[in-house]
């Protein structure tokens, strides 16, 4: 298999971006964008199509098994996990760019710290120990699968870094808190949900279709809106 990798390079956020084209060949049909990037960096002697050396390509990864969210980037115009993007499914030319909603760092690495900052601002933690509620176990489990990759923010028309609307990467963990929060903390958590999620979300569900973890975002939103906004008791067992 032979593909052309068109990578948007940028040495640092102060430097202008440019596209570097690399011809990449492999016999491994399971090769992904992530393994290709690793291979190019590890070999260190690749030349681009203009015969210029390919310097170290900055990008982030950890698990290489679609479990950590670190390797999120835009591949062929869609935010995806590089380790879950097989080259054989990407066509002859694979366009690779960093996520655009976050400040650039270098090459395919961006600064996604706003996701954690937003979670901190929304007060998303339990202030006292709480027992798992069996009636909302499926909601908690679904929310716990969030990778904090940021793909949902990339496609969200309402999210921008520094805005009051925190997007689905905050809404999903908020859903988990809402499903188990103590009475004492309820008021603050519900208030944060209304201000930072409910009031800014256009319910277009573009995030639902893009999520690489296939989280059932629609179901989580319906439950959280019911609990925090419409005051329904989520997970109440049907009699
Ligand atoms: S909701 Fe999905 S797309 Fe958004 S951060 Fe979590 S795993 Fe990524
Ligand atoms: S439903 Fe639409 S507006 Fe709401 S977080 Fe998802 S993409 Fe953004
Ligand atoms: S490296 Fe962990 S999701 Fe890709």
CB of 173 sitting under 6 A from ligand 2: no
- The Cα-based distances of 109 to 4, 59, 83, 117, 196 in angstroms read 21, 5, 15, 18, 26
Using 50, 70 and 90 to split pLDDT, how confident is the model at 45?
very high
State the number of CA atoms in the 13 A half-sphere of 189 facing the CB: 25
When mean pLDDT is compared over 101-105, 118-122, 188-192, the highest value belongs to 101-105
Query: pLDDT digit string (tens) for 112-122?
Result: 999 999 998 88
The ranges assigned to domains in the chain are 2-110, 113-229
Q: What is the pTM of this model?
A: 0.90
* DSSP bridge pairs for 9: 18
Q: Pick the ligand that lies closest to the CA of residue 156.
A: 2
CB of 115 sitting under 6 A from ligand 3: no
CB 108 within 8 A of CB 57: yes
User: What's the fold here for domain 2-110?
Assistant: Ubiquitin-like (UB roll) (3.10.20)
> Is residue 85 helix, strand or coil?
coil
CB 174 within 8 A of CB 201: no
pLDDT at 238: 43
Give me 121's structure tokens.
Answer: 């601002």
165 CA: nearest ligand 2 atom: 5
CB of 202 sitting under 6 A from ligand 2: yes
Q: Which CATH class is domain 113-229?
A: mainly alpha
Place of tokens 């800014």: 200
Rounded CA separation 34/41 (Å): 11
Do the bridges between strand 93-97 and strand 78-81 make them parallel or antiparallel, or are there none, so unpaired?
unpaired
């Amino acid at each position: 298999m032979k593909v052309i990798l068109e990578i948007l390079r940028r040495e640092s956020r102060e430097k202008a971006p440019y596209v570097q084209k690399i011809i990449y060949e492999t016999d491994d049909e399971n090769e992904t964008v992530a393994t290709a990037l690793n291979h190019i960096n590890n070999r260190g002697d690749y030349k681009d199509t203009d015969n210029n050396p390919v310097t170290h390509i900055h990008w982030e990864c950890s698990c290489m098994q679609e479990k950590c969210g670190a390797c999120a980037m835009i591949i062929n115009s869609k935010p995806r996990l590089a380790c879950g993007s097989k080259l054989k499914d990407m066509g002859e030319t694979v366009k690779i760019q960093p996520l655009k909603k976050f400040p650039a760092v270098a090459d395919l690495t961006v600064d996604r710290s706003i996701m954690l900052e937003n979670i901190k601002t929304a007060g998303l933690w339990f202030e006292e120990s709480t027992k798992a509620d069996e009636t909302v176990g499926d909601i908690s489990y679904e929310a716990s699968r969030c990778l904090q990759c940021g793909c949902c923010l990339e496609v969200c028309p309402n999210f921008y870094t520094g805005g009051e609307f925190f997007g689905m990467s905050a809404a999903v963990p908020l859903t988990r808190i809402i499903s188990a929060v103590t009475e004492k903390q309820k008021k603050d958590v519900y208030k944060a949900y209304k201000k930072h999620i409910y009031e800014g979300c256009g319910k277009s569900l573009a995030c639902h279709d893009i999520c690489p973890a296939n989280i059932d975002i629609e179901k989580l939103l319906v439950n959280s809106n019911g609990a925090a906004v419409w005051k329904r008791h989520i997970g109440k067992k049907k009699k």
